[in-house]
A = this chain, B = another copy of it.
Amino acid sequence: MAATAFAPASIGNVAVGFDVLGHSFQSIGDRVTARRVATPGVTIGAITGTTVDLPLDAEKNTAGMAVLSMVRDLKLDFGFELTIEKGIPLGSGLGGSAASAVAGVVAANALLPKPLTLLEQLQFALKGEQVASGSRHVDNIAPSLFGGLVLTVGIDNPNVKQIPVPPTVRCVLVHPHMVLNTREARSILSKTVSLSDVIWQTANISGFITGCFTGDLQLIRESLEDVVIEPQRQVLIPGFQAVKQGALSNGALGCSISGAGPTIFAWCEQQHAERVRDAMVAGFATVKMASDAWISTLDAVGARIVD
């Protein structure tokens, strides 16, 4: 008995929602195949794809640890062998460790006698993600598992809500060929924020969510701007301003850092997507940085069994 699950990449923060918003990105993702084995426990048979230097020890691997916590907490009398196919570059800020954890849980869940709810699966994926990030961050797990633009409120028992995105909106991702360490990107952040920036950011996330619910692209455009985190982190990404200005001057609704970076995302209307992508790639080229680029819908489609 085996099942293969695909879990999409995800963009944490979505500029205005540091640690609370995220959205799935369908064009890339990780695949995990789970095979039932007789012995309770988890082994990792192979890791292929964009990143192969990940730990094969299940306790140190996000997918491994996520599925291992299922085996243990559910007191299963069988185990799993996992094969991981990474489609998401390591350290890209695209939720690669979350996607592997989610894909592992979704694949293993398909082999359970009694499948779990999405919120139960979320909890197990979180335990895997914890191995990679050192803390329980749900803002990549939830969008990869549920799909679309997702708000998560609360930590221990997070409330997950999908927010509709106007169907003409596309997301452009440009990943420069460099690696940023998530812990470092977090450690440079100031521990305090000025009250005036708090008000501004609060207005922006409120406008952004309201614009999504009401299909008001102009409000999304005015609101999709991070005044708290991006000004601190952009220095870690060579060419950031060139990429952002390129996106905005070619019709993007907004452009910011995906998660902790270095990948940069932009939202735009469908008809501008290729122009925005090309401008962003050209922005990185101004600092002689090669990059990969993708375009995705923002459909509310999460992780799923594909085989």
Contacts and interface: CB of A to CB of B under 8 A. Distances in A.
Interface string A11-29: 0000001111100000000
Contact of A207 (B153, B213, B214, B219): B153
Contacts of A18: 198-199, 202
A223 interface: yes
A-side interface size class? 35 or more
A155 to B, nearest CB: 9
A171 B205 CA distance: 24
A216 B162 CA distance: 12
B19 A207 contact: no
Contacts of A213: 209-210, 213
Given A202-B202, A206-B151, A209-B210, A219 B21 contact: no
Contacts of A222: 153-154, 159
Contact of A203 (B153, B189, B199, B206): B153
**Which among A20, A198, A199 has the greatest number of chain B C-beta atoms within 10 A?**
A198
A201 interface: yes
A288 interface: no
Given A161-B207, A161-B216, A213-B213, 10 more contacts: A17-B202, A18-B199, A18-B202, A19-B199, A151-B207, A151-B210, A154-B222, A159-B207, A159-B219, A159-B222
